[in-house]
Amino acid sequence: MEHNLPHTMALLTRTPVALNALLRDLPEAWTLRNEGENTWSAFDVVGHLIHAERADWIPRAKVILQFGETQPFEPFDRQGHAREVQGKSLGQLLDEFARVRTENLGELRALNLRPEDLARRGRHPSLGAVTLAQLLATWAAHDLTHLHQISRIMAYQYREAVGPWSRYLGVLQCAGHSSS
């Protein structure tokens, strides 16, 4: 389907609530373990989602609206969550994610975007020309790619415990496709 702003916002509203329901107070064996060296735990992923709320979606939307293609976006630091998560508990990160997401949805509403705004173009530092609609669709799909990743990271912890059933569990065959 085409990008649809109310659909995007409906999804963006639900992700922090869903992650909270899934992860809060879960044993750390699920939330702090990763998939091996240089991979992320569910805890790290929540930190990354917070960092993206601060550095990616709304700031880039504003760059498009203000400068169009004349000013490329700041590159996004995929390791930028290291500062977010330092010294924090998962519960604190889940609270923080809910808070910054609510703020950003408020900012998005306040932009009062019209169809002609959604068609406006900006410049991604490596992808080139992108539209505001594509940026907002990616915000929603980025939530889903990390929900996909979290379910994979957690399933990985039981990859041996399931014994011969592993061949029936699609998530255990998922190679990750990318670092996210």
Residues within the interface to its own copies (CB under 8 A) = 1-4, 6-7, 10-11, 14-15, 17-23, 25-27, 29-30, 33, 124, 127-128, 130-131, 133-135, 137-138, 140-142, 144-145, 147-149, 151-152, 154-155, 157-158, 160-165, 168-174, 176-180
What Å distances lie between residue 13 and 18, 105, 131, CA to CA? 9, 8, 22
Nearest to its own copies of 110, 175 (CB atom): 175
What the block records as the tokens of 150 is 């979290």
C-alpha to C-alpha distance for 122 and 73, rounded to whole angstroms: 8
Nearest to its own copies of 2, 87 (CB atom): 2
In three-state form (DSSP H/G/I as H, E/B as E, the rest C), the secondary structure along 106-153 is: HHHHHHCCCHHHHCCEEEECCCEEEEHHHHHHHHHHHHHHHHHHHHHH
Closest distance to its own copies from the beta carbon of 136 (Å): 9
Nearest to its own copies of 110, 161 (CB atom): 161
Nearest to its own copies of 82, 162 (CB atom): 162
